[in-house]
């Protein structure tokens, strides 16, 4: 419009100009108007050049790009009311701008955190602790360390952060567990676990102490064939029925004495006792009680087990993703060494008062007679 008005002012003089001159003059005036209304730097910019804020003017008049400035990568915030906000997609990550940087593959992402255990299977050796751990790990809300950590009895000087590092990653809703059977008979362990957390739930797998001692001896004998006979180790004087309580295989079975130490630091309600015998005959029933104690939904049921007649021990039925069932290792269900019947009866007489006291302490008769 401005060009038309300007040209109309020149009409009185147009009779002096040729038609060609008039056309050239009109084009020139139009060009001037266009340049005034639309500056060149807002209309056309080379796609390869960065915006002015990403360039530095050098002394020789050249320009250098600044790649380290975040403003050279991310677009500037739009001024209020300058652009329709509904048409702007939010910038969720730098990958939306830097397409040359690949996103990390999902398989490498680590979910959850390493936490100190909420529950610990503290004993007893050859009672069935490995079975309880493997069976309860079927539950989707349980994650457990695969190996015995021995933190509270052998590695306590390494510190809690070292201990935490041994734990699996768990989600907030999952329980972290570990098992070390020697904890139950280690004097310092209850105090140390209490210092870590007084809310820690404790699981003790107990078994007829005579049968447990024979199983313990059988395992040791498989590793040390030159071991003395069971009777030599179990008795100071077998003819008088004097039992050697310094032998670890005998000492572990004094459950009542060990429990007294634990009750100095934890209430009985925070300790759950699993019957090693019932774990063999009714694994689903024992695991149901373990799940109740841990506050878990009863997901591990009888559908997960079958009895292996060769081992004389329950095994886990094969999962859909596996081609074979899961049984415990070769050391589980091992045939026991034959022990003289008189020696067994002497040991039963020795353990009887300790067993009765243990029944009274926990409020349950395990019927080991």
**Which residues are designated catalytic?**
126
Is position 8 annotated in a ligand binding site? no
Query: Is residue 127 part of an annotated ligand binding site?
Result: yes
Residue that is written with structure tokens 């797998």 in the block: 205
334 marked among binding-site residues: yes
- Cα-trace Rg, the chain: 40
- Ligand-binding site membership of 126 (annotated): yes
CA distance 107 to 11: 78
- 207 annotated binding-site participant: yes
DSSP line for 16-70? GS-HHHHHHHHHHHHHHHHHHHS-HHHH---TTSPPGGGEEE-TTS-EEE--S-G
Task: Evaluate whether 200 touches 193 at the Cβ level (below 8 Å).
Answer: yes
φ, ψ of residue 274 to 5 degrees: the values are: -105, 135
Q: Are 66 and 55 spatial neighbours (Cβ–Cβ below 8 Å)?
A: yes
Helix (H) or strand (E) segment spanning residue 175: strand 175-179
Phi then psi dihedrals of residue 358, to 5 deg: -65, -40
- 336 marked as binding residue: yes
Is 335 among the annotated ligand-binding positions? yes
Q: Is 9 annotated as a binding residue?
A: no
Secondary structure of residue 368 in the 3-state scheme: coil
Burial 50-68 (b: 16+ CB within 10 A, else e): beeebeeeeeeeeeeeeee
Q: Is the distance from CB of 114 to CB of 168 less than 8 angstroms? A: yes
- DSSP strand pairing (235-237 vs 242-243): antiparallel
Q: How far is it, in rounded angstroms, from Cα 259 to Cα 364? A: 14
Q: What residue numbers does the annotated binding site cover?
A: 126-130, 207, 215, 332-336
Q: What residue numbers does the annotated binding site for 3'-phosphoadenylyl sulfate cover?
A: 126-130, 207, 215, 332-336
């Amino acid at each position: 419009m401005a060009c038309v008005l300007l040209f109309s002012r020149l009409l009185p003089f147009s009779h002096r100009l040729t038609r060609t001159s008039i056309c050239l003059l009109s084009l020139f005036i139009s060009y001037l108007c266009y340049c005034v209304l639309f500056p060149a730097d807002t209309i056309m910019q080379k796609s390869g050049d960065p915006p002015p804020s990403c360039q530095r003017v050098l002394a020789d008049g050249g320009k250098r790009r600044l790649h380290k400035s975040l403003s050279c990568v991310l677009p500037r915030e739009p001024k209020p009311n300058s652009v329709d906000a509904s048409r702007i997609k939010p910038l969720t990550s730098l990958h939306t701008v830097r397409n040359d940087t690949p996103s990390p593959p999902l398989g490498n992402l680590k979910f959850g955190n390493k936490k100190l255990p909420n529950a610990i299977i503290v004993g007893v050796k050859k009672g069935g602790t490995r079975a309880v751990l493997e069976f309860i790990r079927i539950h989707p809300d349980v994650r457990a360390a695969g190996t015995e950590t021995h933190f509270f009895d052998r590695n306590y000087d390494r510190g809690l952060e070292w201990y935490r590092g041994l734990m699996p990653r768990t989600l907030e809703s999952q329980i972290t567990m570990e098992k070390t059977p020697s904890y139950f008979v280690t004097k310092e362990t209850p105090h140390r676990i209490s210092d870590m957390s007084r809310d820690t739930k404790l699981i003790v797998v107990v078994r007829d102490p005579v049968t447990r001692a024979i199983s313990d001896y059988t395992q040791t004998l498989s590793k040390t064939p030159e071991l003395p006979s069971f009777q030599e180790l179990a008795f100071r004087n077998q003819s008088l029925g004097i039992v050697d309580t310094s032998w670890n295989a005998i000492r572990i079975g004094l459950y009542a004495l060990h429990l007294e130490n634990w009750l100095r630091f934890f209430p009985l309600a925070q300790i759950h006792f699993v019957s090693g015998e019932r774990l063999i005959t009714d694994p689903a029933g024992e695991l149901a009680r373990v799940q109740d104690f841990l506050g878990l939904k009863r997901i591990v049921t009888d559908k997960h087990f079958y009895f292996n007649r060769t081992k004389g021990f329950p095994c886990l039925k094969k999962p859909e993703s596996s081609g074979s069932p899961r049984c415990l290792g070769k050391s589980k269900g091992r045939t026991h060494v034959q022990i003289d019947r008189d020696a067994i009866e002497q040991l039963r007489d020795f353990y009887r008062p300790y067993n009765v006291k243990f029944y009274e302490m926990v409020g349950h008769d395990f019927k080991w007679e």
